[in-house]
A = this chain, B = another copy of it.
Amino acid sequence: MAQQKDRHSARERVYRFVRERLAAGRPPTVREVQEALGFRAVQSAREHLERLVAEGRLTKRAGEARGYRLPEPDAKPPAALVPVLGRVQAGALTTAVEDIEGYVPVQHKAGSEYFGLRVQGDSMTGAGILAGDIVIVRAQPSADSGAIVVALVEDEATVKRLRLRGQRIELHPENPAFSPITPEECRILGKVVEVRRFLEEGEV
């Protein structure tokens, strides 16, 4: 039996199946691998898995159900799917279920809450944030001066650069065609930690 790394070889198909299941957060049993590949014996699947472990492409917890894992990035923080909101209105951050466009995977910091917001308008193009981009926001009630934040002004969320003048809050655009805002009342919803742009239709 020639050993080949062809993407159609059983070994590669096993690896791909396991990897996809692990990426979906649903580690498979050996029997599920068996069925997925169409083997008649559990041991057939298991030998491939053991070989993948020997090659360093998988690791396993011996004796533990669904114990095969990917060896790589388990030093990374967990990735979670966070909702992307089309709009945020006053009081709605926890109830805007109907405004959820979809979800995107985000590596979050433990203990922090995140949401995504679709950027409207061109006020932040100078910072490379275009209309239609999605900003990933860590929910927090304050931020440092200079940070890009999502703030609630007159019941509508907006993405701006925060400038703190003593106790006064200014929200600056990054586009000379727009003027800074100095709202009487304003609530910081969170700090923008990431900007994403999908270049293909149909994503999120």
Size category of the A interface is 35 or more
Q: Is A53 in the interface zone, CB < 8 Å from B? A: no
Cα distance, A79 to B19, chains bound together (Å): 11
Cα distance, A125 to B130, chains bound together (Å): 11
Q: Is A81 in the interface zone, CB < 8 Å from B? A: yes
Contact present for A103 and B72 (CB under 8 Å) = yes
Contact present for B80 and A23 (CB under 8 Å) = yes
Which residues in window 158-204 of A have CB below 8 A to B? 192-200, 203
> Given that A105-B105, A105-B106, A194-B199 are contacting pairs, would A20 and B78 also be in contact in the complex, using a CB cutoff of 8 Å?
yes
Can you sample 25 A-B contacts with CB below 8 Å? A20-B78, A20-B110, A22-B25, A23-B25, A23-B78, A23-B81, A25-B27, A26-B69, A27-B27, A27-B66, A73-B103, A76-B103, A79-B79, A79-B105, A105-B105, A128-B129, A148-B199, A192-B199, A193-B198, A193-B199, A193-B203, A194-B196, A194-B197, A194-B198, A196-B196
